[in-house]
Amino acid sequence: MLTLCEDKVLKIQANKDALFNADGNINVTASSNVLGQTIPFAGDYGISKNPESFTTHNYRAYFADKQRGSVLRLSMDGLTVISDAGMSDWFKDNLKPSTTILGTYDNNKKQYNLTLKGSSNYTVSYEENIKGWTSFKSYIPEQGLSVANNYYTIAPESSNLKIWWHHKNTTYNNFYGTQYYSDVTFIFNQEPSVIKTFKTLNYEGTQAKVDANTNTSEGEYYNLTAKTGWHAESIATDKQSGSINEFVEKEGKWFNFIKGDTTTLSNLDTGEFNVQGLGTISSHTTAN
C-alpha cells in the first residue's frame, strides 16, 4: 500500500497473515486484514497538503511537494525529482504561491499535466519519452482524466462548457471555445564568452505570417494577401537586438535575414568592435 504523507512517502506491506484466538479458547482464526512493515522511500519528500497533484499511469505515480518546490515521479527505481529536468528554479518560484496544484495524465499524448492556480495560472506538461518538460498549455482545467485513451478535462466555471474532449477538435490551439496561438522561446547559450554573429533565421514547418503589401513595384506577389502564421516577435542578445519582418518560403523551408536595430547617437555603443573612430573629441580648432 502506497502512503503519501506531508513530508514522507511510504510503502506499507498489506494482506499479511496473522493467527489469533477468536474467542479466547484454543480455536485459532487466520486473517489477512493486517498491515505489515512500513518502508520509507529514499528522500525527504512528501505530497505536502496537495493530494490533488497525485495521478498515476501504469507503474508510475506523479505528485508535487509544494513545501520543497519539487515535482516527483515514483516508479520502480524509487523517487525521482522530475522538476530538476531544466525547471527547478521555475517550480521553486511558482509552486509555493499556488493555492491549487492539480495533476492529470493525458494518456493520448503520454504526458503528465500539472496545473498551478493562484495569482498566476499555468499548465505545464512532462513527457517520459524525452525525460523533460515539453510545453506550457493554454488551458487551465478544474479536473481531468483519461478514459479509453481519450483525455477529458472539466472546463472552468467561467466557461459555458462542462467537459472538453482534447485532441478531437480539428482547430489547433482551441480550448473551451477560446482560440489561442502557439509560441516558442529559444535560448542559445553555447560558449557564452564568445561574441557570436547571427545572420539568418529559418525553420521547417507550416505557414509563416504574411503582412499584406499592395506595392507590386517590388516584384513580389506572395504578400498581396495577409496570412496568419509563425513569426519572430523579437531577437535579442546581451549586446544587440534585431528583428525579422517575415519569413519567405523556399522549397518547403522558411527563412529570412536578421535585421539589426537602427543605430543612432542615442543607442550607440562605442564598446562594440564594429564602432571605429578616433574617440571622443574634447576640442577642435578651425583653420582659416
pLDDT confidence of residue 177: 85
Residue type present at position 165: W
pLDDT confidence of residue 63: 97
- What are the tens digits of pLDDT across the range 172-193? 889 988 888 888 887 777 777 7
The DSSP string of 80-92 is: EEGGGTT-HHHHH
pLDDT confidence of residue 223: 74
The C-alpha cell that represents 183 in the structure block: 509560441
**Distant-in-sequence, close-in-space partners of 24: CB < 8 Å, separation ≥ 6:** none
Tell me which residues of the chain have a pLDDT lower than 50. Answer: none
Instruction: Answer yes or no: are the C-beta atoms of 36 and 86 closer than 8 Å.
Output: no
pLDDT confidence of residue 211: 84
Q: How many CB atoms lie within 10 A of CB 58?
A: 8
pLDDT confidence of residue 117: 95
Q: How many CB atoms lie within 10 A of CB 153?
A: 26
pLDDT confidence of residue 29: 59
Distance between CA 133 and CA 84 in Å, rounded? Answer: 10
pTM of the entire predicted model: 0.72
Residue 93 phi/psi, 5° resolution? -80, -30
Task: Tell whether the torsion through CA atoms of 277, 279, 280 and 283 is positive or negative.
Answer: negative
The C-alpha cell that represents 243 in the structure block: 528583428
Q: How many CB atoms lie within 10 A of CB 210?
A: 19
Distance between CA 75 and CA 127 in Å, rounded? Answer: 14
Task: Characterize 252-288 residue by residue with b for buried, 16 or more Cβ atoms within 10 angstroms of its Cβ, and e for exposed.
Answer: eebeeebeeeeeeeeeeeeeeeeeeeeeeeeeeeeee
Distance between CA 267 and CA 197 in Å, rounded? Answer: 19
H-state helical runs in the chain: 88-94
pLDDT confidence of residue 19: 59
Instruction: Answer yes or no: are the C-beta atoms of 7 and 50 closer than 8 Å.
Output: no
pLDDT confidence of residue 13: 80
CA atoms within 13 A on the CB side of 142: 11
Q: What is the dihedral of CA 110, 116, 121, 122, to 10 degrees?
A: -30
> DSSP code of 93?
H
